[in-house]
Amino acid sequence: MTSVKPDEVQRALLITSGELARTAGETFANLLAERPGPENGIAAVHCADGAADDAFLLAVTESLTAISPPDLAARLAQKSWALAAVDEIVLILALDMNTENSRAAAPLLDAVTAVVHQHLGLETASLLIWLAGAADETAVLDCLSTPVSVTRAIIPLGLRNEAGLRLPDDNALSAITAELLWALTATPLRTLPEQVFERQGTAFTGDTAVLTLGLAGWSWSPASAHAAFCRRWLESVLAHWLTTADETESAEQAAVWMQDNGLSPQTFAASALKEEETQPPDFLTAAWQFPWPWRLRRLFTEMRFRAETDTEACAKWGEYACFRMDEPLQQARAALRHQVQSDLDQQPVGGVARVTTWLDGALSECDRRIGQMLGEIETQAETDAMLAAERGRLITWLESWLAAWPALNWRAWIGAGWRFWRWPRLAWRCWQIVQSGRQLSCVLAQQAARRRQTIVDAAVRQAWGELEKITRRLQSQVEEIGEMLMHLAGEIAAESTRPDDDPHPTASGQLPIIPLPIPYRLYAKLIPDEQAEAIAAAATVGGLGQHVKRLDDAIIEPLRRLGGKRLAGVWALTAVDALAACAGSHDRVRQWWAQGQDAARPLWRLDEARLDETARTENGRLTFVCGANAHLAADLLSEQKGVVCSLPSGDRERLLILCVRTGLTVAAMVSEQYSVNSER
């Protein structure tokens, strides 16, 4: 925001008399307090019936004391005002046009001037404003014909302007008078007579100038615009965070990410069993190749014992394998959470929808893996059944054959050896036992491997099931982030109803200053890239990923503060910028300027026929444009008729148009109608 030189203000005392003037003075006091104005240096005193009695003069004295403290300059500086012309006080008389005031105006001015001289020892610069309401037309001639020795100007204001258009009532005139008092005290227009003479290239002779004035303008509220822009900024940020994403691409990326980060069956399988547990026992395969006949019974018994022992061991290992899945699941949970948080932090635009879709892809991968393993169970069951049947058949044979086999002692084998006719049968049976033993050894080895594979498959299947639960829980947390953001967006949207972006400004009530709508076109200049704003906003509040662990809707306040900083440029804009933004096009801006100039026509109906040739020309008309960057408005208004003068000020909220008519005579100002009314 660029620095602005503070406007200068001169101490001023406003004296009012009459109901119109009193209402205008009260409205003016409210303006000083609301805008805020230089109220420390301006005071107002009402004089009932124009009588300068002791009570009135005491009020004047007290008011002069109130606006003349030793630290007045410091007090004004606190409100960005600078004290000017400390050796002079401006006296403004605002009087209703009536017979009493026509006689009391000069004595009232002399009495107040004397109090200023006596109380402060200062010179005065005086200005007289006559107010002609609906009931005061008969007193116009008396008031304008009465000589009053003011040093600056006499300004009559009536209900009709010079174009013959009329204000609705006295309240409208009081409102315009209050705005005019603001312009003549709190803006560079405070030196209006000097400005008029300077612009016309003539010297100020000290004679009382008679001027007619008209005031109009536009106002806007940077505070309201800043608040509205902040709401739009918040809505935009939240909308970008909640925007949709490419569902197909996100789902495909999830499967690839899971594979790349080790979330696969092989990873879980590696943790199911210890290395020594993965090795099946030796079922005497080598011993069954060329066994001694008398050892066959022992080999069979030993082989069955090892099979039973392995079965019992695998039952315990199956329980242990489920517990061993905790560590890889914790790692998987941490990896998933980190990926989700990183994605939300690094790519917040559309992050919620994209991460939700990505997690959908992860869930689909989990379902696919689980379905694949469940599909293999039937095939594996068939294999197990086939091995069990083969094992039962072989065991039955071996038990039957070994039951008739010689016992493991020397007497049995000596007895068998003497019976040589039994040798061929024993040899054949021995061969059958050895072949069946070999086959049983292979079957038992396969069953041992299948037991281990079953343990691994069950553990992996359980792990994928838990991983699916973890993913669903994580997805639920991300969806809650989206719900929180949607709730916040709803609250922001409910804060205000946005007006149209391109409305035509209309007067509010009876004020001459037209309030402009929110100039939303300026928002695009302040925030050219809303997506970049959404990314920066997420980073500033710590990222969206933090809400995966714990939701915190308190981020709205940091966002408001950030939006306020990002839109601080609003405070550097002026009413000229707001008007151009509301109008939209250059032609429409010129049209509105022309309408403003027409609305500011001087509030006095003149008899042009009674003016000399010079006064009827454009040289007798001046248009002052006052406000920050007023020269830009003056450039536009210079395309219209008349002389346009710009008076830059520090007021960014208002742009005033003041039309002045000079070179006037009482005869021209008192029309035939006023003259007839006066004669009656």
pLDDT tens digits, 337-349: 898 888 888 888 8
- CA dihedral sign, ordered 363, 365, 371, 374: negative
Instruction: Give the span between the Cα atoms of 28 and 366, in whole angstroms.
Output: 75
Within 10 A of 209 (CB to CB), how many other CB atoms are there?
21
- Asked if residue 516 lies in contact with residue 219, where contact means CB atoms within 8 angstroms, the answer is yes
Kindly tell me if the per-residue pLDDT of 279 is higher than 80. Answer: no
Measured at the CA of 165, the angle between CA 219 and CA 638, to 5 degrees, comes to 55
Kindly tell me if the per-residue pLDDT of 287 is higher than 80. Answer: no
- The two tokens of residue 312 are 């019992």
Within 10 A of 174 (CB to CB), how many other CB atoms are there?
26
Residue whose tokens read 């705005």:
179
* pLDDT of res. 181: 93
Instruction: List % helix, strand, coil for the chain (3-state, nearest 5).
Output: 65, 10, 25
679 band by pLDDT with thresholds 50, 70 and 90: very low
- The two tokens of residue 417 are 């050896």
- The two tokens of residue 439 are 């086959």
Within 10 A of 479 (CB to CB), how many other CB atoms are there?
15
Q: What is the mean pLDDT of residues 513-527?
A: 88
Kindly tell me if the per-residue pLDDT of 423 is higher than 60. Answer: no
Task: Choose from 96-110, 584-598, 609-623 the range with maximum mean pLDDT.
Answer: 96-110
Residue 499 DSSP class: P
* pLDDT tens-place string over residues 367-416: 888 888 887 777 777 887 888 888 788 877 777 776 666 656 555 555 55
Amino acid (one-letter) located at 632: L
* pLDDT of res. 60: 94
Q: What is the mean pLDDT of residues 523-552?
A: 85
Residue 30 phi/psi, 5° resolution?
-65, -40
- Asked if residue 152 lies in contact with residue 184, where contact means CB atoms within 8 angstroms, the answer is no
Q: Find the Cα–Cα–Cα–Cα dihedral 64, 65, 67, 69, rounded to 10°.
A: 150
* pLDDT tens-place string over residues 67-80: 999 998 898 888 88
Kindly tell me if the per-residue pLDDT of 507 is higher than 60. Answer: no
Task: Choose from 258-267, 610-619, 666-675 the range with maximum mean pLDDT.
Answer: 258-267
Within 10 A of 327 (CB to CB), how many other CB atoms are there?
10
DSSP H or E segment with residue 126:
strand 123-132
Instruction: Give the span between the Cα atoms of 180 and 211, in whole angstroms.
Output: 13
Kindly tell me if the per-residue pLDDT of 320 is higher than 90. Answer: no
Task: Choose from 46-50, 136-140, 250-254, 635-639 the range with maximum mean pLDDT.
Answer: 46-50
Within 10 A of 590 (CB to CB), how many other CB atoms are there?
15
Sheet holding 654-661, edge to edge: 513-515, 212-219, 654-661, 621-627, 643-648
- The two tokens of residue 300 are 């069979």
* pLDDT of res. 672: 47
Higher pLDDT, residue 194 or 613 = 194
Residue whose tokens read 């915190």:
552
Kindly tell me if the per-residue pLDDT of 446 is higher than 90. Answer: no
* pLDDT tens-place string over residues 459-478: 888 888 888 999 899 989 88
Q: What is the mean pLDDT of residues 621-634?
A: 82
Residue 13 phi/psi, 5° resolution?
-125, 120
Where helices occur in 125-264 by DSSP H, the ranges are 140-145, 170-186, 192-200, 222-241, 247-260
E strand residue ranges, 444-576: 513-515
* pLDDT of res. 592: 79
Kindly tell me if the per-residue pLDDT of 675 is higher than 60. Answer: no
* pLDDT tens-place string over residues 101-118: 888 889 999 999 999 999
- The two tokens of residue 120 are 């402060």
Q: Find the Cα–Cα–Cα–Cα dihedral 612, 669, 659, 15, rounded to 10°.
A: 140
* pLDDT of res. 372: 80
1 band by pLDDT with thresholds 50, 70 and 90: very low
Question: What is the overall mean pLDDT for the chain?
Answer: 80
- Asked if residue 575 lies in contact with residue 517, where contact means CB atoms within 8 angstroms, the answer is no
* pLDDT of res. 128: 93
Instruction: Give the span between the Cα atoms of 641 and 617, in whole angstroms.
Output: 11
Instruction: Give the span between the Cα atoms of 244 and 497, in whole angstroms.
Output: 25
Alpha carbon distances (Å) from 228 to 234, 526, 532, 581 = 10, 13, 20, 15
Within 10 A of 658 (CB to CB), how many other CB atoms are there?
26
* pLDDT of res. 676: 40
- The two tokens of residue 514 are 């037209």
Kindly tell me if the per-residue pLDDT of 443 is higher than 70. Answer: yes
| Alpha carbons within 13 A on the beta-carbon side of 654 | 24
* pLDDT of res. 673: 46
Instruction: Give the span between the Cα atoms of 493 and 480, in whole angstroms.
Output: 20
* pLDDT tens-place string over residues 232-253: 999 999 999 888 866 666 667 8
- Asked if residue 94 lies in contact with residue 61, where contact means CB atoms within 8 angstroms, the answer is no
Higher pLDDT, residue 330 or 552 = 330
* pLDDT tens-place string over residues 291-306: 767 667 777 778 888 8
- The two tokens of residue 649 are 């000020």
Kindly tell me if the per-residue pLDDT of 504 is higher than 70. Answer: no
Of all residues in the chain, what percent carry a pLDDT higher than 70? 82
Instruction: Give the span between the Cα atoms of 136 and 211, in whole angstroms.
Output: 19
* pLDDT of res. 500: 43
Nearest to 7 by CA among 182, 195, 246, 207: 182
Instruction: Give the span between the Cα atoms of 580 and 586, in whole angstroms.
Output: 8
* pLDDT of res. 611: 66
* pLDDT of res. 380: 77
Higher pLDDT, residue 419 or 15 = 15
